[in-house]
Structure 1
Amino acid sequence: MTTSKENNQEYNIIDLFSGAGGFHIGFEQANYNVRLCIDNNDLVERTHNRNFPYIPFINKDIREVTSEQIKKYYQGELDIIIGGPPCQGFSTIGKRVSSDPTKREKHDPRNELVLTYSRLINELKPKFIVMENVKGILTLDGGKYLENVLSELRKAGYNVDYRLINMADYGVPQVRERVIILGNRVGLPVEFPKPDHSNDPNDDLPMWNGCWGVISDLANMGDKREFNHVALKHTEKNIQRYKLIPEGGRLPENDLPPELYRKNFGNTYKRLDRKRPALTMVPGNDAFPIHPTLNRSLTVREAARIQTFPDKIIFEGNRRQQGHQVGNAVPPMFSKKLAEFLKEQLNKMK
């Protein structure tokens, strides 16, 4: 007689640095049991409790969370730990900082969280581990930081490897490059799911998904605050600038009328192309890229759609806080495909 675990293909995971839940949503959709989420943010806790009241949540600095505390939320062995440690400290956007504590003017404590993640893995010993981070981790300290993380995981008994993955290659309507670290302590080779979309018309795979298919119905909906769909009130000057941005292009800074010129123009002065994946959704100063057809930036809901969040997920806080939660998340479409791939690996152990 088989157990319910065997029948339902359910495995136990915990999500460290869970944020708005993009990572674990995909694993839930693949029928995993999410036993615990951890993050250190009151607003994230509100979003979590609204959308996932059935999943326990610890709101605490993970450096202060012990493995004994975590073990109270599951019995037996832990199948997978997933997590995306906060990574702004070594993002390729903005000023880079060193992970070396001796360089105090450049040191960022957020970089220590990745090593804290490694410590908990060493103590909890899940069968598989998944870590997501920005591509800046590849070159931090000349690559030494990443090698240190991998070395710590290998010392804990894990086969580990990493890949720089573009989420568009997995059907996400967004060009989004992230580093995925995978590992296991069960003796299996480290493998990664193969892309199922391509930007090469000569490939046999379907082409990348354009962003219009997921946001077109929202264009003329009007503001719906309870749905996180509220357009920013742009200044008339910015609207005039947006009118000059062609679809799929950016503001022609060198040909602007004097009254529209400003000193610095950021990524928010780029317009999406309906037929192409969106630019990377990153939490900027209240604004995402420009809508493909309207002279405004994307709403939080449109960005969430591009990030492949289900519409039922509601983000708490003001618009800027909502945008940060969306922009920092792992796209659930990718995490589900990764979860299904790892389930095949787990099933080999039966």
Structure 2
Amino acid sequence: MGRITIIDLFSGAGGFSLGFRKAGFIIRLAVDINHAAARTYSLNFPHTIVVEDDIRNLTGKDIRYLVGDDIQIVIGSPPCEPYTGANPLRMREPLDRLYLDERGELTLEYIRMVGELSPKIFVMENVPSIANTESLREAIKLEFRRVGYEKIFFNYLKAEDYGNPSKRTRVFISNIPLNPPKLKRRTTVWDAINDLSDPKMVNAIPNHEIQEVNERKMKDLAKTEIDDYITMFRGSSGRNIPLYIRLNPNKLAPTVLGNSKFIHPYESRFLTVREQARLMSYPDFHVFLGNKDEQYNQVGEAVPVALSTAIARQIMSEYYA
């Protein structure tokens, strides 16, 4: 079997790519506009070409010039903010989120690029609400048909079914069915983080430093019980969403969001970036660059590595064995 070339669009810190690399694929090129995320990706994928640019400035011809014509798979995660119910500014009409929202239109840019690159397989990740109305599903199918792909599958997968220690349901829109085998056992918060060294001590684990907080926040942390939270924010539907939750060590963590920080189950502090990355099944050798908020954001916006690995292994076994 030759080198199976993959392109990752909206690559972020590399969680989607990492699963495919673990399964034996070659990630030839990644694109992301965010400077900190592009630096993180470049550090962790030193043999991959990283293009730090707006996808709207790029064409399939540009990418073929950099990596050649044999592009087998295109993966990617266009921004979810236009579609998620957690966004209080989400547009009311579903189709407006795709066609009028400036960030929502980036989904169309992903589809354009797939059409220009004509891969054998594509997999696009997003929040389930990108396809929770018939109008959005039909619009997405229509756009893929326009670029040459007739069969479109909306694959709803839960990261926790594949060993991820935090809950995360996502839809993977692809031209193949995705149904990797599930694991029987769930991984809890404490399973994921209990063996990490004390972050107050000098240690060699990257991104494992305590974030200092002011005295008032320290008091809030100290009085927050397990499964309780410090505050809430209001989503687009008016639903209140908890923020700064003290994790239950014996359960799955809630969904990790870009703006979220969790409180340690037993200590009056936020999880370190490394502990939070463990909740997204990142290995400890994957280093995050940028300031602390950028690092937390990179973790929260990723495809969990356990889930991307399960998807990649299914594709490898069924289409490239």
- Name the structure 2 match of 1:314: 287
The residue type paired with residue 196 of structure 1 is: K
Q: 1:252 to 1:230 in 2, by over 3 A?
A: closer
User: Residue 262 of structure 2: which of 273, 276, 289 is its match?
Assistant: 289
Q: Tell me the CA shift for residue 96 of structure 1.
A: 4.2
Tell me, in whole angstroms, the C-alpha distance in 1 between the residues paired with 2:113 and 2:188. Answer: 39
Q: Does structure 1 retain, via aligned residues, the 8 Å contact 2:221–2:230? A: no
User: What are the within-5 Å matches in structure 2 for residues 36-47 of structure 1?
Assistant: 36-47=29-40
- Name the structure 2 match of 1:159: 151
- Other structure's SS at 1:108 match: coil
Q: Tell me the CA shift for residue 145 of structure 1.
A: 2.8
Q: 1:99 to 1:225 in 2, by over 3 A?
A: farther
- Name the structure 1 match of 2:185: 207
The residue type paired with residue 144 of structure 1 is: S
Gaps of 5+ in 1: 184-189, 198-205, 254-264
Tell me, in whole angstroms, the C-alpha distance in 2 between the residues paired with 1:346 and 1:103. Answer: 36
Q: TM-score, normalised by structure 1?
A: 0.81
Tell me, in whole angstroms, the C-alpha distance in 2 between the residues paired with 1:347 and 1:251. Answer: 46
The residue type paired with residue 153 of structure 2 is: D
- Compare CA radii of gyration and give the structure with the larger one: 1
Q: Does structure 2 retain, via aligned residues, the 8 Å contact 1:17–1:38? A: yes
Q: Which structure ranks higher in relative contact order (CA pairs < 8 Å, sequence separation ≥ 6)?
A: 2
Tell me, in whole angstroms, the C-alpha distance in 2 between the residues paired with 1:225 and 1:322. Answer: 18
Q: 1:145 to 1:88 in 2, by over 3 A?
A: same
User: What are the within-5 Å matches in structure 2 for residues 118-267 of structure 1?
Assistant: 118-139=111-132, 142-155=133-146, 156-183=148-175, 190-197=176-183, 206-218=184-196, 220-222=198-200, 227-247=206-226, 249-251=227-229, 267=242
Tell me, in whole angstroms, the C-alpha distance in 1 between the residues paired with 2:307 and 2:94. Answer: 34
- Other structure's SS at 1:152 match: helix
Gaps of 5+ in 2: 232-239
- Name the structure 2 match of 1:117: 110
Which one is further off, 338-347 or 315-324? 338-347
- Other structure's SS at 1:277 match: coil
User: Residue 28 of structure 2: which of 35, 38, 49 is its match?
Assistant: 35
1:92 matches 2:67:
no
* RMSD of aligned residue pairs (Cα, Å): 2.6
Q: 1:347 to 1:226 in 2, by over 3 A?
A: closer
Q: Tell me the CA shift for residue 269 of structure 1.
A: 3.4
Q: TM-score, normalised by structure 2?
A: 0.88
1:273 matches 2:273:
no
- Name the structure 1 match of 2:234: none
Q: 1:23 to 1:83 in 2, by over 3 A?
A: same
Q: 1:135 to 1:219 in 2, by over 3 A?
A: farther
Q: 1:231 to 1:160 in 2, by over 3 A?
A: same
Q: Tell me the CA shift for residue 64 of structure 1.
A: 1.2
Percent identity (aligned): 33
